[in-house]
Amino acid sequence: MEYFHNLREKEEVSILLKTGWHMENSLLKDRVENSIISPERYYSRLKDSKEPHKVRLQVVIHYFTNGFNKSFTAQAFGTTTKTVRKLVERYKKYGEEGLKDKSRRPHTSPKKADTKLEEQVLELREKTNYGVRRIACLMNEAGIEIGRGGVWKILRRNGKNQPRKKLTIRRTGRRYYNPLDFEPFTFLQIDTKEIVDGDTLPAEIYRHFLDLSDKGVPMNQFTAIDIRTRNSFLAYGEEKSFANGWLFMNLVVWWLRAFGIKGKIVMQSDWGEENGGKSQQKIERMNKALAKLDAEITRIQKGKKEQNGYVERHHRTDDEEFYIPYGGEIRGTDSLFDYAYGWVRYYNTIRPHYGKELDGLTPLEYLKTIMPEVDSRIALMPPLFLDRITSHPDWKGGYDVCGHYIN
């Protein structure tokens, strides 16, 4: 007895038998019985599925178990007969493997960067860890024409395009601060960096700095950075004490007022003892003293270092471009301050910054686009040895270190 309606059905069933799809096969039975046809359209299901080849397999199963009717299967899945025919043909030729996503990579890429250019981009990335903007600008300055998009594609193709951490509010994607909302030097982030850091420094530099610390060279860096222009100010101390931290805040405010900066200056810090610690009474006394200079100290939320992201990023740059390459040449206190002043000058007036706002300008150049009348020397505050001031007999220390500012 002939069980097939026509020769086409007979041929297609023979293909099923060759690929192991027999109606007596329990695996096939399970797949057919459990393949529930959803009223959702085929392409919606395909897009939402983590395993799209299984959605395509349901189409094929439906076709082979419902009279080999492409129109009926297309209607059941909300797709076209052309799609059903394509899936069936792919299954006949390659089995389930043929239902998996195919590569969409073009056969030819006439605009792809040549091997030499690609190697240069990857070498610069490996040596410097610079971002896309900075790599593109440096290569253009060297006479090599390549755009940001080209650099990004090379990095992505080679798995080197790790996303940068953004200064965002957790779970929302919004930035904590938009620098454009602030006038220059009205919002500063401050923090203290322990230079002798075994997690970031090479072993030889780490041991060298330990020796310097034992000799009395100050190894705590006090940093303030203006989030609008990225101009930064440094000082150093042997101790990470409140006296040194408080002095540094006042030095920065005095420096800015000396160059005619008007308006309230807000300084944001973490909860370190050198910045006032957990004592609300101390913070109130600090703000009472700072009010005479129209300034204020505020603090980030506990456990959210990303709110001080600009100064934290500055400290990473300090390691990568100052302490690691030049730390071995520092021989003592005078040498440290010579190099530190050179670093401040380079960072503020020579080094291009490739963030979204500065886009290749130095902090001083960007400041001049906003305040062309400002004295350029504002970016050249010399780093000071804080302990030599706070240990002076005329300096009032102890618990009431704010006292002589208030009185």
pLDDT digits (tens, 9 = 90+) for 11-47: 655 555 555 454 444 444 444 444 444 445 788 888 7
Residue 221 and residue 192 share a domain: yes
Residue 241 and residue 122 share a domain: no
CB 191 within 8 A of CB 270: yes
pLDDT at site 133: 85
Residue 187 and residue 152 share a domain: no
**What's the total number of domains in the chain?**
3
- What range does the domain containing 39 cover? 7-99
CA atoms of 311 and 161, how far apart (whole Å): 23
> Does 60 score more than 50 pLDDT?
yes
pLDDT at site 100: 86
Tens digits of residue pLDDT in 330-367? 999 999 999 999 999 999 999 999 877 888 899 999 99
Question: Mean of the pLDDT values across residues 56-78?
Answer: 88
> Does 403 score more than 60 pLDDT?
no
Residue 283 and residue 386 share a domain: yes
Tens digits of residue pLDDT in 275-313? 888 888 889 999 999 999 999 999 998 878 888 889 999
54 assigned to some structural domain: yes
Residue 295 and residue 150 share a domain: no
pLDDT at site 180: 77
Question: Which CATH number fits the domain that encloses residue 355?
Answer: 3.30.420.10
Residue 140 and residue 15 share a domain: no
CA atoms of 183 and 236, how far apart (whole Å): 27
Residue 130 and residue 78 share a domain: no
Helix (H) or strand (E) holding 399: none
Residue 188 and residue 90 share a domain: no
pLDDT at site 31: 45
108 assigned to some structural domain: no
- Nearest partner of 97 among 60, 42, 67, 70, judged by Cα: 60
Residue 152 and residue 208 share a domain: no
Question: Mean of the pLDDT values across residues 147-159?
Answer: 88
Residue 201 and residue 61 share a domain: no
Domain boundary among 99, 129, 145: 99
